[in-house]
Amino acid sequence: MFFEIRLFCAAATLLLFVLTFTSIGKKNIIFLGVAAPILIGGAISLMIRYLGGYESSYYAGLNLVMLAITLLYAWDVRITAGICFVIYGSYLLPILLKDDIRRPEILINNNAFLLGTAFIAMTSAYFVFRLRYQEFESLYRLEESRKALEISKKKLEEAGVLKGQFFADISHELRTPLSVIRGEAEVTLRGKEKPADEYKKVLQYIVLLTEQLNQLVGDLLFLARSESGDIRIERRPVSLSEIFVHVCRAGETLAQKKEIKVSFIGQDQEVLVGGDVQRLKQLFLILVDNAIKYTCSGGEVRISLRKDGRFGRVEISDNGIGIPAEALPYIFERFYRTERARSMAHGGAGLGLSIAKWIVEAHQSAISISSVVGVGTTVAVDLPLLEKAKV
């Protein structure tokens, strides 16, 4: 009889162990882990019934089971307490219900050992679980720190590449007009006496190049200050229609040389937003200047203003050269210009749209560009409307 009980218990325990490697077992790992000690404890309690009941010394096997679960499992103390309670109950309940207790001192002694072992098991489980949890937490934090360091390293490497590219680009952008200025001056000085008109043309060209250099340095200073947080957005109620009175006037001045028509639709609308007047003027002047710059002579630049839900929407459209679809994802990057834009005789270093994007984002707004090569480009800016209560 005892051999069969032991054999059944061993086979069932082995089956539970094998099940832990299956997909179903992995999903129910706690259930299988709890079932094993309860099964063994139940088998020992059954053998105790056949070996003298409460007087049997086999109760020591239950002590071993309780201690074993604290060594083999890293369980929460509540699970350990539950298993100990079931094992202790499988020993005590049959005795109370079936046995004629003639020697209570033996029962008290055995119960004292079992309860003492259960208490030790639960205490041990508490500290083991706590230590393993702390170990897991430390490993988790270590892994998170490692990942954070890898990300920081990657960002530093990318920053290094961008820094190198930045200095290469800025060196090129500064060197080109300086070389031209020097070349024009040297050619003029080496040659024979020339009419005053030719000297005037050279000087005018040099002035134009110095203006481009001044604009480039100004843009670089703006971007540097924006990254360091030195530029503050002073928010107050701003009328976009009033801003575009200034922008359109400036745009018409820029467009006169190329005979480009600048039109404004929506000047009669009162569109109030919260923003920095100077920065918004700078934003729209950049966009209008770009539209005029890349529109051929006799073309048109259209500025439209309207309310669109909770936003004031500004669209600046032109019928210029357009932007290739593959270039649109990079159009806001510093120093980025399309190949066609580089080949055209236009000033600029490709910083304007980077500045425009920074101003838009500083106003918690959005900017988008759609374009078709040979047809034209439309830039849309959505600025949150000012709530009436804040006006």
Q: What is the pLDDT of residues 92-149, one digit of tens each?
A: 888 888 777 788 888 889 889 989 999 998 998 888 888 888 998 999 999 999 999 9
In the structure, what pLDDT confidence band is assigned to residue 346 with cuts at 50, 70 and 90?
low
Q: What is the pLDDT of residues 187-197, one digit of tens each?
A: 777 767 777 78
pLDDT confidence of residue 172: 63
pLDDT confidence of residue 316: 93
| Same-domain pairing of 207 and 293 | no
The answer to whether the CB of 80 falls within 8 A of the CB of 69 is yes
- Tell me: pLDDT of 384 over 80: yes
Mean pLDDT of all residues in the chain?
Answer: 83
- Residue-wise burial string across 341-376, b where 16 or more C-beta atoms lie within 10 A, e elsewhere: beeeeeebbbbbbbbbbbbbebbebebebebeeeeb
In the structure, what pLDDT confidence band is assigned to residue 222 with cuts at 50, 70 and 90?
confident
Q: What is the mean pLDDT of residues 51-77?
A: 84
Which CATH number do you get for residue 312? 3.30.565.10
- Of 205, 231, 257, the residue that ends a domain is 231
- How far apart CA 45 and CA 54 sit, in angstroms, is 10
308 domain-assigned: yes
pLDDT confidence of residue 339: 56
Percent with pLDDT over 90 in the chain: 15
- Tell me: pLDDT of 241 over 80: yes
| Same-domain pairing of 307 and 222 | no
The answer to whether the CB of 305 falls within 8 A of the CB of 288 is no
168 domain-assigned: no
Q: What is the CB neighbour count within 10 angstroms for residue 136?
A: 11
pLDDT confidence of residue 149: 94
Which residues, in sequence order, are CB contacts of 268 under 8 Å at separation 6+?
241
Q: What is the pLDDT of residues 193-210, one digit of tens each?
A: 777 787 788 788 788 778
184 domain-assigned: no
- Of 231, 255, 281, the residue that ends a domain is 231
